[in-house]
A and B are shown apart, each in its own frame.
Chain A
Amino acid sequence: GESVGLHLPTLSVQEGDNSIINCAYSNSASDYFIWYKQESGKGPQFIIDIRSNMDKRQGQRVTVLLNKTVKHLSLQIAATQPGDSAVYFCAENQGGKLIFGQGTELSVKP
């Protein structure tokens, strides 16, 4: 089936900088996307979601951008903190089921 994937497996940023994590999806019919954060030894934690009728959604220090033309999703984290270090997954709704991408590991340098 069609899949969701990430461009970069690892990302290293300086504390205080902004982070951008990218995700490509291939199913143009997908109508709902979620970003999850997974810390070591824990389950994924919901960060932010976006429906396909939107191109931008903001949360606390996070913004998700959706570009349906090129089937691309990104997560922006402002003023990245050490506590943001984790693996980030995008997930896509396919037929009522969440399909997760591979994940990007974010490392924050003090």
Chain B
Amino acid sequence: EAGVAQSPRYKIIEKRQSVAFWCNPISGHATLYWYQQILGQGPKLLIQFQNNGVVDDSQLPKDRFSAERLKGVDSTLKIQPAKLEDSAVYLCASSPGHSVFYEQYFGPGTRLTVT
């Protein structure tokens, strides 16, 4: 079974530029999550999708971050404009169901450096 795919793996941009990350979840997984992991910390949930609908985006900084999952499969996370404090690893995870009791499978992440 193929795992969660993410691209790019690494990205370096200057502050105020924009960037987009892509995630392809495990086939058949209805729920998709985006997490932000700052160096030395645990992942923090940004947004959760159930199919193509948003379940929770309470911790997404909506003035600069946006995410979509138009067809209920792939997802993109965008930052515009980026700030220095956005430097982090952005992890995508998927699970078969929306409950937290379903195991979440994580991708390798995209490491973003904002200079």
Contact = CB atoms under 8 A, between A and B. Distances in A.
Nearest to B42: A100
Contacts of B103: 46
A46 B91 CA distance: 14
Given A41-B108, A43-B106, A97-B100, A102 B4 contact: no
Query: Contact residue range for chain B?
Result: 20 to 34
A25 interface: no
15 contacts: A41-B108, A43-B93, A44-B91, A44-B106, A45-B106, A46-B103, A93-B101, A96-B100, A97-B56, A98-B45, A101-B42, A102-B40, A102-B41, A103-B40, A103-B41
A44 B44 CA distance: 12
Contacts of A93: 100-101
A66 interface: no
Interface string B21-51: 0000000000000000000111111001000
Interface residues of A, number: 18
A4 B43 CA distance: 12
Interface string B72-104: 000000000000000000010100000111011
Of the listed residues A42, A43, A89, the one surrounded by the most CB atoms of chain B closer than 10 A to its CB is A43
Contacts of A41: 108
Contacts of A101: 42
A21 interface: no
B45 A97 contact: yes
A77 interface: no
Contacts of B48: 97
